Structure 1
């Protein structure tokens, strides 16, 4: 892999992992449309992409470091019988992580085959756009008489349902952050709280994927240096992305805007792939 391609994929991953537009979908589709050949059947591809995700996870840990310290203290306190909002949220994140973790382990091999069909990825990106459009419109039309709740006040059942939305993102083209933000809005969270809960919820699942996939790079020594550099570049891009997105959703930012983008981008990629069936 050339240095230029490595930089391109790393920055693309760092930006699109947190933006609700599907990082995996973009990593597979954009190089194909640009004429860059990625061997989607290569056994080292998935571990390499997961290594880029590690950079994203570290960026999220750094950005929300104060929150994670409070959550850790709250969790330890809950084990000693001390109840707190941070302890409740920590348990909510644990419960919310379970659905996608179980499905990912059980369906790892069948889901891996979806990497090979770019038309399915493009179609999934379009459906992701529809979900974001509908979720964004519901948010815009929400009654002001019903004030949004904070993440600490989510019930464990609500946290589990938000976490269940992550399962859809196991299909390339669906956005993990987008699906969980929509689910968070449906649970009554504000846009900023839904974004924060989504980013917090995504960190354990990304780290778990790294634990499973990164050891596979031991058999591909030439990829180790590329993975390390890519993870660093991805982390830098992800940190800037989360700073932007938190400010965006704390303001007047809407998910529907990203939904429109996904619809257009997915349709263009699907049309392009129809004319280039050998990709």
Structure 2
């Protein structure tokens, strides 16, 4: 992997991780289109650690409250009635589907699921679902329930397929369940932390394996992760402000356009599907 590719992919990861447009799809497409080869699912998983560190720092006070409340609730009945205690459990429970499926389907995720025809199809299909949920949603609730946690957790698991979008899937589920855009976005950020950190740490040995033709060096991987962190931190602040005043229609149209263009490039043989 060249230094330019590592820097560009870190930038792409930071820009797209929290937007409902699929960061894994963008890293996959940019890597193949401009650098001739897929950087791989393991490299993508590792540089996502940078964007999740951005979440930890941005929501540090909230996360500190959740963790403190959760530990207190293990020993105090009064603490178990606190909203923060419940939200901490919602994050844990919502993380189970992607953790289990990610482990069971790890080989498929790294191979057949990265076919660009699948990516293009998922961009279009889940773009339409996001638009439908955003238009029909009531946007009525700020408080999450166990049903929300399970529904958004299952939606997050679908993002193991590039093109679905982890944030896009969870936002679609949250909106369909009646949450406001901002509440769905905040829970989506928090829900990503266990899953992405787990996947990233699990994938580090694969990235350090130098036997592949397009592997990144340790310095390249570190720099790409740092770039993803810096850009991702700015993206969080922008997105939360944006969704408080706007719909997701711009992202829906972008997904549809990108999916159609990608299908065109694949049909004309200008881009390899695998």
TM-score, with normalisation over the residues of structure 1? 0.89
Change (3 A) 1:87 1:229: same
Task: Report deviation, 1:226.
Answer: 0.8
The question of 1:103 aligning with 2:101 is answered yes
Which consecutive residues of structure 2, in runs of 5 or more, have no partner in the other structure?
none
For 1:109 and 1:274, the matched residues in 2 are separated by 27
Tell me what 2:75 maps to.
Answer: 80
For residue 228 of structure 2, the aligned residue among 205, 228, 234 is: 234
Task: Report deviation, 1:217.
Answer: 3.3
Question: Equivalences for 1:50-69 in 2 at 5 Å?
Answer: 50-69=45-64
The question of 1:216 aligning with 2:206 is answered yes
The question of 1:256 aligning with 2:246 is answered no
- CA deviations 1:59-88 (Å, max 9, x no partner) are 010111111001111111111122211001
Task: Report deviation, 1:222.
Answer: 5.8
Tell me what 2:260 maps to.
Answer: 267
Task: Report deviation, 1:256.
Answer: 2.4
Tell me if the contact between 2:10 and 2:227 (Cα under 8 Å) persists in the aligned partners.
Answer: yes
Task: Report deviation, 1:157.
Answer: 2.9
For residue 149 of structure 1, the aligned residue among 137, 141, 164 is: 141
TM-score, with normalisation over the residues of structure 2? 0.91
Change (3 A) 1:157 1:223: same
Question: Equivalences for 1:126-137 in 2 at 5 Å?
Answer: 126-137=124-135
Output the aligned Cα RMSD.
1.8
- SS of the residue corresponding to residue 173 of structure 1 reads coil
Tell me what 1:37 maps to.
Answer: 36
Tell me if the contact between 2:56 and 2:63 (Cα under 8 Å) persists in the aligned partners.
Answer: yes
Which consecutive residues of structure 1, in runs of 5 or more, have no partner in the other structure?
none
- SS of the residue corresponding to residue 19 of structure 2 reads coil
For residue 269 of structure 2, the aligned residue among 272, 276, 279 is: 276
The number of residues matched between the two structures is: 265
Tell me if the contact between 2:41 and 2:109 (Cα under 8 Å) persists in the aligned partners.
Answer: no
Change (3 A) 1:39 1:172: closer
